[in-house]
A and B are shown apart, each in its own frame.
Chain A
Amino acid sequence: MKVIEFDIRGQICPSTLLTALKEINEYSDQLVDGTVRLAFRTDNRDAVGTIPESATNMGYSVTVTRGDGYYLIEIDGLEP
């Protein structure tokens, strides 16, 4: 599986969300067939709420882990 990482640190909402949505839309087919995982590195706290919720509503599986000074939001596949 290919992991495409986007560093969107410095951005704030709603820019972070729009950026993430744009990429999710872009890779939706690969996400659905499981060949790609998108990883967003953000330092915007709000994004930890908005991105996972939107991705989840779209049916994707989301995990959020906290890094040093950032959050890593990983989106892949469809929910089982």
Chain B
Amino acid sequence: MGTKEKKISPDGAGKKTILGNPAKNLPAAEEYERLAREHTELSGKYATAVRYIRDKIDQLLTVMGTSALKPEELDDKTLIETDPIGIISSSFVQILKHLHKTNAALKMKNREIKAIFDSAGTGVLVIDRDMKILEYNTRLREQFFPDKVDINGLPCHALICNLKDPLSACPFRKVFETGESVHMKGWVLHNRHYDIVGTPLKDNVGEVTGAVILYMDITDHVRTEAALRQSEEKYRDLFENANDLIQSIGPDGSILYVNQAWLETLEYSREEVPDISIFDIIHPDCDECGADFKSVVFGERAGRVETVFITKTGKRILVEGNISTVFDSGRLIGTRGIFRDITERKKAEEVLASEREQLAVTLRCIGDGVITTDTAGNIVLMNKVSEALTGWSQGEARGRPISEVFRLVSEDSGAARENPVDVTLKTGRIMNIPDRTVLVSRTGVSRIIADSVAPIIDRTSNIIGTVLVFRDITEKRYIEEKLLQSGKIESLGILAGGIAHDFNNLLNAIMGNIDLALAELDGRDQLYETLTRAEKAALRAKDLTQQLLTFSKGGAPIKKTASITELIRESSDFAVRGSNAQCIFNLPEDLWKVEIDMGQMSQVINNIVLNAVSAMPDGGQIVISAVNMLLEQDRPELKQGRYVKIAIQDTGTGIPKEHLGRIFEPYFTTKHTGSGLGLATTYSIIQRHDGLIEVESEVGKGTTFFLYLPAAPGDRAPEEQSSEPRAPVKGWGRVLLMDDNEMVSYAAGEMLKRIGYDVVIAAEGNEALTAYKTANESGRRFDAVILDLTIPAGMGGKETMKKLLDYDPEVKAIVSSGYSSDAMMANYREYGFSGVLTKPYQMKDLREVLHQIISGEK
């Protein structure tokens, strides 16, 4: 040993014991002897001790794994000095320390492993070669025998696999046979699925003494996989059977996958899909579609798109859908799109939009005002008429409460009316706008309105708003009032007709008697003058009743062929009488005769001249002229032929243009006192004479009326109006006079006698018939019969005439009536009469008509 030598001394305690004996009392020989004995004894003990030490050292060295000390290697003395036991024991201390430390670590590891073993989610089983359970973890117990307390030593196949012949059937026997791991997948144990791994446990010499078997419960995984498979099948089913077009497109536009609907709609087979790209199905006309797709691919946009696809055969397919981008680990791998073919829907939408447009246009064009509101009564829509009537535009009114825009007040009191929209919204019923309701517009204009509000009801019978339909009836109301007025006038006309009839009878008596009185007088007699004035007044009264009749009935004119010259003069003069106006006549002598109702035509001239007079309050000249005219086709409204054109021109205020078109309308007047009937009657009379009336006017300069009257056929020369001699020219013959009015029959009878006729008077038809028959049978036949048309309490002229004709077709009869407007008076010949006498008539009228029919002039 290369270390410094150390002397190993014997045990100090033993030495002390030996040397400590009291030897000083012993003799030297004895002492030597004793010392020799003691030395021998001690040497023997020493040798024994060294031997013991050497044994123990060898024992320790053997434990340390080395060979024993040889005596020649280390003498006793060196051995003692070297102290191998001390060395080895110090080493043992270190070894033990290390072992303690290692043991502690191992225990910790063991605990850790146990914890892992028990907490593992996988069942772990340790078995020996006889398949007996050596160890198992908590999980395994839970998996296979939760209720068992201790199963160590029991065979695993009895508890887990329940195999009859485990030694041949158990696959994990191979672990023992081959010494290699065995992996079994998808085993079903106790209704659960397992992946099982068996691993051999080997001893130090590599013998397989047991096996560790891991039971990994994959039931959830299996079930999840099954559910996933099921789900995938479900989605595949949905995908393939969806009516929508589903596609997945790669970033380069290649088509990754599409569904059946996509293939069918775009007319491709599944085999063709790999050879086409998205750009083959985007319609080339759709400029923005390709760019749109790119923007989706670059992630610039996604979501709803509407685009146009083109099929394999070139058909346009309008689609709408959603595109989304698909990323994998942040990298774009394509887009997914679901589209719906909306070609048909678009068409339907277009039709709908067109219908809607048409509806909107129709609504805008409806002649009535239409407003719709929502359920809160706020305006949604207004048409043009309602805009005009309310003064609000649709834009301004939309969203405002109806009561703000559609303000209603009572026509009578002016008080605000409850808005019918509000009522309809409350009750759900159709509401009529109450009578006499006035709509006050935004600008304060009032209009009388009518009509109703109805609820707008959807398919589920819910009220979703109201529709208000109304019309401006202001004009209608005005017309109704005028019609009412017209009705009153008509009644008045009938009354006037009756009065005129009675007046004519009375006038007939008055004028007949005056006539008779005048016939008795000398023309120089003062009374003659007086009676002549009375006669003139009576004639004026006759004209008045004539006007009254014409006004009341406007009846068919009783036309006679006559010169109009005198009529114009007389009527004009009569009209200007008492005014500052003066008539200037320009009437040629060769003016053609016309077929006119003298009374009605007189009224025409009278009305026009009266208008001229009132147009010249400060007086002036009225120029009345007439010319003969031959009309070809220059006046389409008139038949071709000969006409007399009369012009009546004043220099008055003139008629404003806006009034010019309306002056012939009934009740149109600008005069405070006018009835509005004058020119309307004039127009009506001229029309019934197949003529035409026109007007030209200039404000401030004057007005000219033009009358076109058809000329009478035949003689073109004007007929000289013969002035009838007042003195009667005696007639002869017998006349039967039928009139229910005694005053008339008396005066007429007297006049007839005065002009030389024998007269028999009858009060009504039967009496007249009897008298006629009697006279006829007695040989004293009547030469003429005068029949009053209207006999209130008996047979009138018409029926009497019929019976007279039945009796004697040769009878000569004259019809007489105060109703000059009666059609029979105008067309007397159609009823078998030979002449007509319009009441009131004078002696000259009687003489003339009787002379004509008895002497056969007519």
Instruction: List residues of chain A with CB under 8 Å of any chain B CB.
Output: 6-8, 11-15, 17-19, 21-22, 24-25, 28, 46, 49-50, 53-54, 57-59
Q: How far is the CA of A11 from the CA of B84 in the complex (A)?
A: 15
Q: How far is the CA of A20 from the CA of B97 in the complex (A)?
A: 19
B64 touches A (CB below 8 Å): yes
Annotate B62-98 by CB proximity to A: 1 below 8 A, 0 otherwise: 0011111100011000000010100110110011011
B482 touches A (CB below 8 Å): no
Q: How far is the CA of A28 from the CA of B92 in the complex (A)?
A: 12
Point out the residues of chain A lying under 8 angstroms from B94, CB to CB: 24-25, 28, 58-59
Q: How many A-B pairs with Cβ below 8 Å? A: 69
Q: Which listed residue, B64, B84, B101, touches A50 by the CB 8 Å rule?
A: B64
- Nearest residue (CB) in A for B74 is A15
Q: Which listed residue, B65, B84, B101, touches A18 by the CB 8 Å rule?
A: B84
Contact check, B66 vs A14: say whether CB atoms are below 8 A apart: yes
Q: How far is the CA of A18 from the CA of B69 in the complex (A)?
A: 10
Q: How far is the CA of A6 from the CA of B1 in the complex (A)?
A: 11
Q: How far is the CA of A53 from the CA of B64 in the complex (A)?
A: 8
Contact check, A50 vs B65: say whether CB atoms are below 8 A apart: yes
Q: Which applies to chain B's interface (DSSP): helix, strand, loop or mixed?
A: helix
Point out the residues of chain B lying under 8 angstroms from A11, CB to CB: 1
Contact check, B95 vs A15: say whether CB atoms are below 8 A apart: no
**Most chain B CB within a 10 A radius of its CB, from A18, A19, A22:** A18
Report how many residues on chain B are interfacial, defined by Cβ distance under 8 Å: 25
Point out the residues of chain A lying under 8 angstroms from B95, CB to CB: 54, 57-59
Q: How far is the CA of A19 from the CA of B91 in the complex (A)?
A: 12
Point out the residues of chain B lying under 8 angstroms from A59, CB to CB: 94-95, 97-98, 101-102
Given A7-B2, A21-B90, A25-B87, 5 new contacts (CB under 8 A) = A54-B91, A58-B91, A58-B98, A59-B95, A59-B98
Q: How far is the CA of A70 from the CA of B82 in the complex (A)?
A: 25
B826 touches A (CB below 8 Å): no
Contact check, A46 vs B67: say whether CB atoms are below 8 A apart: yes
Annotate B750-772 by CB proximity to A: 1 below 8 A, 0 otherwise: 00000000000000000000000
Point out the residues of chain B lying under 8 angstroms from A8, CB to CB: 2
Chain B min CB distance to A14 (Å): 4
Q: How far is the CA of A15 from the CA of B99 in the complex (A)?
A: 25
Contact check, B67 vs A13: say whether CB atoms are below 8 A apart: yes
Q: How far is the CA of A15 from the CA of B87 in the complex (A)?
A: 12
- Nearest residue (CB) in B for A17 is B66
Q: How far is the CA of A49 from the CA of B95 in the complex (A)?
A: 17
Point out the residues of chain A lying under 8 angstroms from B91, CB to CB: 21, 24-25, 54, 58
Q: How far is the CA of A58 from the CA of B66 in the complex (A)?
A: 16
Q: How far is the CA of A14 from the CA of B70 in the complex (A)?
A: 9
Point out the residues of chain B lying under 8 angstroms from A14, CB to CB: 61, 64, 66-69, 84
Q: How far is the CA of A16 from the CA of B68 in the complex (A)?
A: 12
- Nearest residue (CB) in B for A22 is B87
Q: How far is the CA of A57 from the CA of B68 in the complex (A)?
A: 20
Chain B min CB distance to A18 (Å): 5
B3 touches A (CB below 8 Å): yes
Q: How far is the CA of A8 from the CA of B3 in the complex (A)?
A: 11
Q: How far is the CA of A15 from the CA of B1 in the complex (A)?
A: 7
* With A18-B82, A24-B91, A59-B97 as contacts: A54 and B65 at CB distance below 8 Å: yes
Give the 5 A-B residue pairs with the shortest CB-CB distance, closest first: A59-B98, A58-B94, A25-B90, A50-B66, A14-B66
Chain A min CB distance to B255 (Å): 61
* Interface CB pairs A-B, < 8 A, 9: A11-B1, A13-B66, A15-B1, A18-B61, A18-B84, A18-B87, A21-B90, A22-B87, A28-B94
Q: How far is the CA of A50 from the CA of B98 in the complex (A)?
A: 17
Point out the residues of chain A lying under 8 angstroms from B64, CB to CB: 14, 17, 21, 50, 54
Annotate B91-122 by CB proximity to A: 1 below 8 A, 0 otherwise: 10011011101100000000000000000000
Point out the residues of chain A lying under 8 angstroms from B90, CB to CB: 21, 25
Q: How far is the CA of A25 from the CA of B97 in the complex (A)?
A: 13
- Nearest residue (CB) in A for B99 is A57
Point out the residues of chain A lying under 8 angstroms from B99, CB to CB: 57
- Nearest residue (CB) in B for A54 is B64
Q: How far is the CA of A4 from the CA of B102 in the complex (A)?
A: 27
Q: How far is the CA of A46 from the CA of B68 in the complex (A)?
A: 13
Contact check, B1 vs A46: say whether CB atoms are below 8 A apart: no
Point out the residues of chain A lying under 8 angstroms from B3, CB to CB: 19, 22
Annotate B38-76 by CB proximity to A: 1 below 8 A, 0 otherwise: 000000000000000000000001001111110001100
- Nearest residue (CB) in A for B88 is A21
Chain A min CB distance to B98 (Å): 3
Q: How far is the CA of A22 from the CA of B3 in the complex (A)?
A: 10
- Nearest residue (CB) in A for B97 is A59
**Most chain B CB within a 10 A radius of its CB, from A24, A25, A53:** A25
Q: How far is the CA of A13 from the CA of B528 in the complex (A)?
A: 204
Chain A min CB distance to B81 (Å): 12
Point out the residues of chain A lying under 8 angstroms from B84, CB to CB: 14, 18
Interface residues of B in 1-43 (CB under 8 A from A): 1-3
**Most chain B CB within a 10 A radius of its CB, from A12, A46, A49, A54:** A54
- Nearest residue (CB) in B for A53 is B65
Point out the residues of chain A lying under 8 angstroms from B102, CB to CB: 59
Point out the residues of chain B lying under 8 angstroms from A58, CB to CB: 91, 94-95, 97-98
Q: How far is the CA of A8 from the CA of B98 in the complex (A)?
A: 26
Q: Which listed residue, A24, A28, A46, touches B66 by the CB 8 Å rule?
A: A46
Chain A min CB distance to B56 (Å): 13
Q: How far is the CA of A24 from the CA of B90 in the complex (A)?
A: 9
Point out the residues of chain A lying under 8 angstroms from B65, CB to CB: 49-50, 53-54
Q: How far is the CA of A12 from the CA of B1 in the complex (A)?
A: 10
Point out the residues of chain A lying under 8 angstroms from B67, CB to CB: 13-14, 46
Chain A min CB distance to B88 (Å): 7
Q: How far is the CA of A28 from the CA of B646 in the complex (A)?
A: 162
Point out the residues of chain A lying under 8 angstroms from B82, CB to CB: 18
**Most chain A CB within a 10 A radius of its CB, from B2, B3, B66, B90:** B66
Chain A min CB distance to B482 (Å): 126
Contact check, B87 vs A21: say whether CB atoms are below 8 A apart: yes
Q: How far is the CA of A7 from the CA of B3 in the complex (A)?
A: 11
Interface residues of B in 527-568 (CB under 8 A from A): none
- Nearest residue (CB) in B for A6 is B2
Chain B min CB distance to A71 (Å): 15
- Nearest residue (CB) in B for A7 is B2
Q: How far is the CA of A28 from the CA of B90 in the complex (A)?
A: 10
**Most chain A CB within a 10 A radius of its CB, from B1, B65, B88, B90:** B65
Chain A min CB distance to B101 (Å): 7
Chain B min CB distance to A21 (Å): 5
Chain B min CB distance to A26 (Å): 9
Q: How far is the CA of A12 from the CA of B614 in the complex (A)?
A: 172
- Nearest residue (CB) in A for B83 is A22
Chain B min CB distance to A37 (Å): 17
Annotate B203-247 by CB proximity to A: 1 below 8 A, 0 otherwise: 000000000000000000000000000000000000000000000
Contact check, B98 vs A57: say whether CB atoms are below 8 A apart: yes
